[in-house]
Structure 1
Amino acid sequence: MATITFEVKTYEVKIARELNASADGLSLKFPAYILCRGDKYHVVVYILDDASPVPANTFIPTRNRGTIFVPRWQFEWFVDLLRNEKPVYCYLNSDSPNWNALYTGQEPVGEHEL
């Protein structure tokens, strides 16, 4: 089992009419993805088309790469997190990749945006 946590240092968003890929033998359609990079590891958050099948998330430690597959309606959540929070971390788990996630550092209760 391999698990890692890394701080997301940079991210990029690619939006297109329709992008295609394959995973788990499935043909995927997705209008966007978010690539999050740390110092050594990276994760790609695939924003799936409503009609696309949903493959299992992955973490391949030898490639320093993970994936998270989410429905289109969660796109705003991920972009908002990356734009408005700091630090943002990524958790990747090779045995339970459904736990792959982005999350914030600890913040005081009641903190709000100015």
Structure 2
Amino acid sequence: MAIKTFAVTTYEVGMGYKNSANWSGVNILIQGHVVCNSADGYRFIVYGLHPSSPIPGPVYIEANKVGAIFIPFVELHNYIDLVRNEKPIYVYLNSSSPNWNSLRTSAEPVGEQEGI
């Protein structure tokens, strides 16, 4: 079992229409993605998939330093909002339980108002 937690140092957002890729033997159609990068070369990718795309299960490939989750494209804005408006942001990756792969904030004070 491999577990990796890292602080997101940079991120990238990409948008397209039915860009094809293969993950874990499943051909997917990507409309957008968010890539969260660490200082030591790890990546967490959130793929927003076209409505006609199959949705594979999440993965963490330790040897490649990459984890991914696959969600409907209409939910991708939630992840973009998180990386744009929160700091610090952390990624949790787990090879034994990839369903736990996630993007998180740290503890924040109650009632904090962003941007004020």
| TM tier relative to shorter chain | over 0.9
Distance 2:26 2:2 in 1: 25
- Give the alignment of 1:29-108 within 5 angstroms: 29-40=29-40, 41-108=42-109
Distance 1:72 1:18 in 2: 11
Residue 9 of structure 1: aligned partner: 9
Q: Which runs of 5+ in 1 are unaligned?
A: none
Superposed CA offset, 1:14-65 (max 9, x none) = 1112211012322100111111100121111111111111111111111111
Structure 1's consecutive aligned runs of 4 or more residues displaced over 3 angstroms after TM superposition are none
Distance 1:61 1:24 in 2: 14
**TM-score, normalised via structure 1 length:** 0.95
Aligned length, in residue pairs: 114
Q: Letter of the aligned partner of 1:95 in structure 2?
A: S
**TM-score, normalised via structure 2 length:** 0.94
Moved more, 18-27 or 42-51: 18-27
Residue 25 of structure 2: aligned partner: 25
Distance 2:30 2:17 in 1: 8
Q: Letter of the aligned partner of 1:19 in structure 2?
A: N
